[in-house]
Amino acid sequence: MIKGLYEAHLPVSDLKASIAFYEKLELTLAYENERVAFLWIEKGKSWLGLWKADVTAIPYHPSTRHVAFQIETSSIKQIKAWLMQKGINIHPMFGYTKEQQPLVLDNPPQFHAAIYFCDLDGNLLECIAPIGLDTADDDQMMTYEDWEKKKNPFFA
């Protein structure tokens, strides 16, 4: 019955500035009033709610201040340059520097390639792409560059 995620919500301190930030990510404004804005991630399928809040500096925890945007697997090599071209800095994650990203996450049974960044209020955002499903690999987390070398000796 469940077909996907329809919406996620984040607290923001400046609604107008946050709308502009997410529009840089190519989300499309669907609705706005003085306290909330909804931006389409994929029109008619999923959107992000931004709520103006007096307190946005709550301690980070992935269950409250994290959104992962799915991207095409073929885009993983370009996503870092795309974000940086838009003036968005890569966020160090899991002990890896921004220079080492994207990363390969070892979440068996599915492996993902991901890159991390923050919005204007420090909400952690992620662009993520599946790269292996139902795999028996016992790989650890690594850089995407190392993943390519390991999976394809022609990259070595």
CATH of the domain at 19: 3.10.180.10
- Whether the pTM exceeds 0.85: the reply is yes
Same domain, 33 and 84: no
Residue 115 belongs to domain with CATH number: 3.30.720.110
Distance CA 73, CA 68 (A): 14
pLDDT of residue 21: 98
Token couple for 97: 């520097």
SS (H, E, C) 52-118: ECCCCCCCCCCCCCEEEEECCHHHCCCHHHHHHHCCCCECCECCECHHHCCEEEEECCEEEEEEEEE
Which amino acid does the sequence have at 8?
A
Note whether 113 and 104 are within 8 A (CB). Answer: yes
pLDDT of residue 140: 83
The tens-digit pLDDT sequence of the chain (156 residues) is 767 789 999 999 999 999 999 999 999 999 999 999 999 999 999 999 999 988 767 776 767 788 999 999 889 989 999 999 999 999 999 999 999 999 998 877 788 899 999 999 999 999 999 887 666 666 788 899 988 888 776 655
pLDDT of residue 132: 75
pLDDT of residue 100: 96
Same domain, 79 and 154: yes
Q: CA distances (Å), 9 to each of 44, 66, 135, in order?
A: 17, 9, 32
pLDDT of residue 156: 52
Same domain, 72 and 140: yes
Q: Which domain holds residue 43?
A: 1-54
Same domain, 85 and 23: no
pLDDT of residue 108: 72
Same domain, 78 and 40: no
* Structural domains of the chain, count: 2
pLDDT of residue 155: 53
Note whether 62 and 24 are within 8 A (CB). Answer: no
